[in-house]
Structure 1
Amino acid sequence: MSEHNAFLGTGWAFPPSFAPAGQAVTLSRDEQDIHQSLTILLSTSPGERIMHPDYGCRLNRYMFAELTQTTLTEVEYEIRQAILFFESRIDLMAVSFIPEPMQGKLMVDLDYRIVTTNTRGNMVYPFYLQEGTLVNPALLPAREIQDG
């Protein structure tokens, strides 16, 4: 790959960090930038960005959903729509799921092709279906148990 492909882009690394020597922002480029962009896209709910309220993926609506084929189909649809509208640098080839119900997690495997280089890539995004299910009621203060 060339030193820098303008279409693939350069942006702040995620999570944002600063290089200690020059006090400059750490940047990500090319495939790394796409991977980080996908992570940000899937982690952002529409409405969270004030200046771009449509940006994001509606995965949070499935946070406590029962893990059925219908849910998986809807999650796939939401992911495909978000990538179609907000990540034009890739063509999404396939979305597959690896359920880990004992951990309340659904691993989302994305296979994609980078448009300008015709290079295939993939990433696995962990989506937590039941975040907070490992909370032990014995550890909560008595007031929270009665209110909840």
Structure 2
Amino acid sequence: MDTSKSFLGRGWGFPPEFNRATKAVNMLEDEADIKSSLEILLSTRLGERVMVPDYGCNLDELLFKPLTLTLKTYVIDLIKTAILYYEPRIDLNKIAIDPTDELEGVLLINLDYTVRATNSRKNMVYPFYKAEGNEL
């Protein structure tokens, strides 16, 4: 496969890694690049990117809010809006929040999407929680 002509996109992996043998940056392509872009989009705060201040979801500000239906609906709306504006390679089919670990403060956000160029369906689970810092 010719990696220079990837039609779904090609970009740096995050966090950036370098290959010592080739002295090049490790790159992601196609669906892996889309998944990585979604993870970065969902974990970025608004204003964190200086040149694109509206990029991100700002989910961090919701960490210690009461976990109500209103909050879940707001999270879904934030994610839909961010993907609509900043990930044009996919069509979002469904967002669902898994309530299994709700009492532990864990939201598992299930994204079901279709890659526009290939018309292939994919899904991704984004775990949203605050990790404890007791293993330092």
TM-score norm. by structure 1 comes to 0.82
Q: 1: distance between equivalents of 2:2 and 2:38? A: 22
Q: How does 1:28-47 map to 2 (within 5 A)?
A: 28-47=28-47
Q: How does 1:94-113 map to 2 (within 5 A)?
A: 94-99=94-99, 100-113=101-114
Match of 1:126, SS state, is: strand
Q: How does 1:104-123 map to 2 (within 5 A)?
A: 104-123=105-124
Residues 7 and 89 in structure 1, CA contact (< 8 A), matched pair in contact too:
no
Task: Pick closer, same or farther for the CA change 1:63–1:20 going to 2, 3 Å.
Answer: same
Q: How does 1:67-82 map to 2 (within 5 A)?
A: 67-82=67-82
Q: Deviation at 1:104?
A: 2.2
Q: Which position in structure 1 is the counterpart of 2:91?
A: 91
Q: Which position in structure 1 is the counterpart of 2:63?
A: 63
Task: Pick closer, same or farther for the CA change 1:8–1:135 going to 2, 3 Å.
Answer: closer
Task: Pick closer, same or farther for the CA change 1:112–1:8 going to 2, 3 Å.
Answer: same
- Unpaired stretches in structure 1, ≥5 consecutive residues: 137-148
Q: Indicate the RMSD between aligned Cα atoms, in angstroms.
A: 1.9
**AA in 1 matched with 2:83:** I
- Unpaired stretches in structure 2, ≥5 consecutive residues: none
Q: 1: distance between equivalents of 2:24 and 2:98? A: 38
TM-score norm. by structure 2 comes to 0.88
Match of 2:91, SS state, is: strand
Q: Which position in structure 1 is the counterpart of 2:25?
A: 25
Match of 2:122, SS state, is: strand
Question: Highest CA radius of gyration, 1 or 2?
Answer: 1
Q: 2: distance between equivalents of 1:121 and 1:26? A: 23
Residues 97 and 108 in structure 2, CA contact (< 8 A), matched pair in contact too:
yes
Comparing 25-34 with 65-74, greater Cα deviation is found at: 65-74
**AA in 1 matched with 2:109:** V
